[in-house]
Each structure stands twice: as structure tokens, then as C-alpha cells.
Structure 1
Amino acid sequence: MDTKRRIIESALAEFGYEGFQGASIAKIAKQSGIAKSSVYSHFSSKEELYVAVLDGIVSFCRNLMERYEDDTQEFHARERLHHALINIYHTASRQRPMILFWHKCLMSPPEVIEHKVREKTEIINHLFRSYYQSIIESGIEKKEINSPFTSNQLASMFQGLVQSMLLGQVMDKETPADEMLNHLFTYYWNGIHPSFVAWTSTNLVKEL
């Protein structure tokens, strides 16, 4: 692995766990096995290094979506969406520093480069959302999905499910992860179809 790549990987962990303000270039250099001055021979500032880490995540996510597309393009829409949910969860579980970094980008981006960070996080969100929507649109065209909602609405719902799962808001320690994810996906899939939507709307009206 070349020096620049080592610096970026060490910075990902440091920024992920410590945040931008708490991150130390000296610690990043130590983890990379180089002198602190060597970091600045590759990156002019802490801000530039932070953006380079984020660029690496953009590339990682783009490659991930391309791989999912290649692996599942012949599958039914239901299986493709289920595959995305399960695999994104397990990929995130193996990439804890990246997920911590991502959360901090969303919640508290460095003020001095906030605009640039927002642009790149939007690119990542668009990559995932476009992938979900392409599956849904293909499923509608093939009559695999029959829903009163638009493809845009269905993609938004699914993206919300994935983001909640990544934030840990819908996971509990008592239920195995795959079992919980299967329950969540089943609820999503059943909930987007006309019979369930009509039943839910009718019962909500009755309760009100």
C-alpha cells in the first residue's frame, strides 16, 4: 500500500472516532508509520485530508453499487432490495470507522469546509437512492411491484429504512441482526402494496 493510501486509511479511523476537531495529524502520521511532516507533503492541510477521506468513501460506495448491480440484475425486485438492505448492513458492520465518519459528516461537518462536505455527502446519498429507484422502476415495469406509490416515494421510503438501520435506531440487542432486518424488509415490502395500504388507511380512519 502506498504512503498516501496509508495516510487516508489512518485518517478515516482518526476522524471517525475523534471527529474533525479532535483528530490529530500526529496520531495519523504515527498510525501510518511516517513522520508528521510527511503527511503535509501529501496533504496541505487537515481540511484537505478530510476531503480526501470523503472522496475515498464516494469511490467505495460507487464501487459497492456497481457490484450490487452486477450481482443481482437478473433477480426479482424483491430479492434485489432485500439483498441491498442485508449487504449494506453487513458492510457497515465491517466498516465501523467509515460509518462513524459518515455520521459525523452528516451531523457536524467541519464549518470551514461544510459546503464541500455537504456536496459530497449528497453525491453518496444520490448514489444509493438512484440504485434503489432503478430497482423499483424496473420492478414496476416487469409487474414485480404493484403499488399506489410512485417510484420516487418508494425509493425515499427504502432509503429511510436503510438510514435508520445504519443509525442503529431500529436494531435491538435481543434479536439477531438478520432476523430483525428480515422483519423490517417484510414490513416494507408488504406495506407498499395496494391491499395493505387500503387496509391501513381504513383502519387509521376508524381509529381517528
Structure 2
Amino acid sequence: MPLVLSRMASLNATVSLPLWDHRKRLTCASSSPPVWKQSRRVISVSFLLSRLLLLPKDAMAGSLIDKYVKRKRLDPLEAYVPPVILAQLQFQDLEKILSVDKPEFEACRSVLRSGPASSLRVNIRAVAQYASDAGYSQTASNDVDRCLRALEEMDSLFLRASRKDPNATVQLMKSQLGTALTALDSLLQTVPSEVLDKGKAMVEIYRSPSEEDDNVSDSSEIQQLQSIL
């Protein structure tokens, strides 16, 4: 008799579970996806990864980029060459600033962030893309990397010098500046001669307006260059 009573008590306890406990169990059970769905998901991901891993590195990168990344439509090459030349001349002026007795290093930093130099990263990469299409891919890519690394290092040197770091010397700054200028020279050598000559002519007019012609600022060349900048 005591055994029967204990079993009945156990049964009553089970039946009298709170309603929220039953709902909780049902919710947990329904929120978990069926085993077969989990299996299909794992198989799909594994198959995709295996397909990618079987591809050669170049093929994988090329196919993914070509398929999933929209290539930005570039402007004509003539739109990028004059700003690059102007930035190059801007850096040459910076070399003169570094030649004085006590250079203003904060002013030197601002030069890297103003005028044509401020958009140099975009412009040289566009020129490098045209160079790559013309068969100068490795050379142009190396020139861009060298130039940008040198400018970043030079900017760091300017900052350290402004904080009185004795190791940030003007000699090191000039060395990095020379590297950047050499890289820009090399990159511009990949530009077709007629495009380069036209760019230089536009820059010359822009930087040295004729005193005899008061309306030179209204010329088509100046207007075109101003719209680019």
C-alpha cells in the first residue's frame, strides 16, 4: 500500500507541472532545427569551402573578384595624369622647405594633406590600373607601394620631429621624399607619351599663367584641369 501511494504522489507531481514549464520545453524543441536541416547546412558550407580550396590562388582571387566585386569605371587616363604631376611638383617644393635651418614640421605634414597631394592615393592607383592594362602590372604596383610607404614614413617622421624626437632627422625625411619622387617618376613612365606631354602642358599653363593674356584662366585647358582638381 505505501508503494502504491508513493507512485501516485510521483504521478501527481508530474501532472501538476506548471504550464509555463511545458511551454518552455515545447519552445526549445521547436526553435532547434531538425537534425536533417543542420546536416544539409553543414554539407553545403563544406562543399563551398572545398570548391574554393581546390582552386589555385590566382584563379580563386580572380573569379571571386570578377564575379562579386563591381569594378569601378575609371575616367580617361588624361584625368589622372595632371594631378599626379602637380603632386610631384608639390613634393619638390616640400624638399625646399626641408632645406631651411628650422623647418616647420607641422606645416610639412599639412602639405601632404592639401592640394593634389591629398588625392594622390586615388590618382596613382588609377594610373597604375591603366599601366596594368598596358602590360606594366608589376612595375606600376611596385611604384604605387613604394610611393605610399615612403609618404607614410615621411608623415610619421614629421610628427615625431614636431614632438622633438631626435631620431626623426631631416636627412631621413629627404630620403623618404626622394623615394616617393622616384616612384612617381617610374609610374609616369608607363603613361603613353602623348598623354604625358598633354598633362605636362596643362600643368605648366596652370602653374605659370601668361602675364600677357589676362583671360588665360578662362582657357579650356585651365578649366579642364580645375575641374579635375
Larger radius of gyration: 2
Same fold (TM over 0.5): no
If the length of structure 2 is used for normalisation, what is the TM-score? 0.28
If the length of structure 1 is used for normalisation, what is the TM-score? 0.30
